[in-house]
Amino acid sequence: MEHPAPAVTGEPQVVVVDDAAAAGRIVAATISDTVRRAPTCRLGLATGSTPLPAYRLLVAELRGTGAFARVQAFLLDEYVGLAATDPASYRATIRRELTDELGVPPASVHAPDPGSGRHADLDAACADYERLLGDGVDLQLLGIGRNGHLGFNEPGTPFDTTTHVVTLSDTTRADNARFFPTPEAVPTHAVTQGLGTIRRARHLLLAATGAAKADAVAAALEGPLDVSCPASALRLHPRVTVVLDRAAAGALS
Ligand code: PGA
């Protein structure tokens, strides 16, 4: 891709670009670079709005090339109570937005599977996903919530948590209502990789765009290293890239 992936320094590397489209180019380049170097890599994917420009670029540039055919993809989280075929489930969403388009076989797209079959026992769903993630993915793409959440790890989540069930906060349900027919249809619970799980990834790539994320980004990068901002846990990781547009970087000192 025309935009090279940023070099890795060992400190959280913060890249600020003009707008969401430019952030998408860097995220797409980092993902495609990882896959080019290791075509059988384990890729941690995020859903939500922030990754969409990057996903669209990857699809536009790499569809039909087979570049992603041997990738294993892992989602950060999934709602409790939605079938994998429900269009609002994260499994359906990532297939529609990225992995089907890039030719990743459905069997290579992994996610927590809470609520069905053996996984009617949610603890079993969590334990199985944690086991599947093993020693972690090669690259984990992350968004950040307005309250500093990573995945569905809301404020107060200990930094060493493994995959677990969460009760979604009112803010998070309201933020996600746009993907559902009615606000009441947003599930009340989800299963998420824990902050300890996320930190096992070899490389963390956080993307944030828009002024609504500015305070959360500042708290994550410059506030106390504290569970009140789950994303501050990023600073415990040796290899983190943070890609921001100017608006999301607006509260950094
Ligand atoms: P967004 O979600 O990309 O849709 O803003 C990010 C998040 O809440 O983690």
Model confidence pLDDT, tens digit, residues 109-147: 999 999 877 778 999 999 999 999 999 999 999 999 999
Reported as a pLDDT band with limits 50, 70 and 90, residue 79 is very high
Pairing of strands 72-75, 164-167: unpaired
Residue 244 has pLDDT above 70, yes or no: yes
User: Which pLDDT score is estimated for 8?
Assistant: 47
Alpha-carbon distance of 155 to 160, in angstroms, equals 13
C-alpha neighbours within 13 Å on the C-beta side of residue 35? 24
Residue 19 has pLDDT above 60, yes or no: yes
In this predicted model, what pLDDT tens digit does every residue of 148-196 receive, in sequence order?
999 999 999 999 999 999 999 888 899 899 999 999 999 999 999 999 9
Q: Please provide the average confidence, as pLDDT, over all residues in the chain.
A: 94
Its pTM stands at 0.94
Reported as a pLDDT band with limits 50, 70 and 90, residue 41 is very high
* Selected catalytic residue, list 101, 113, 138, 154: 154
Q: Does 155 contact ligand 1 (Cβ within 6 A)?
A: no
Q: Which two tokens stand for residue 160?
A: 């060493």
Q: Does 174 contact ligand 1 (Cβ within 6 A)?
A: no
Alpha-carbon distance of 104 to 107, in angstroms, equals 8
Alpha-carbon distance of 105 to 21, in angstroms, equals 28
Pairing of strands 189-192, 164-167: antiparallel
Nearest to 190 by CA among 98, 85, 75, 87: 75
Q: Which two tokens stand for residue 69?
A: 């055919």
Reported as a pLDDT band with limits 50, 70 and 90, residue 43 is very high
Q: What integer is the mean pLDDT of 81-98?
A: 95
Q: Does 193 contact ligand 1 (Cβ within 6 A)?
A: no
Catalytic site includes residue 149: yes
Residue 234 has pLDDT above 70, yes or no: yes
For residues 26 and 5, is the Cβ–Cβ distance under 8 A? Answer: yes
Alpha-carbon distance of 248 to 253, in angstroms, equals 12
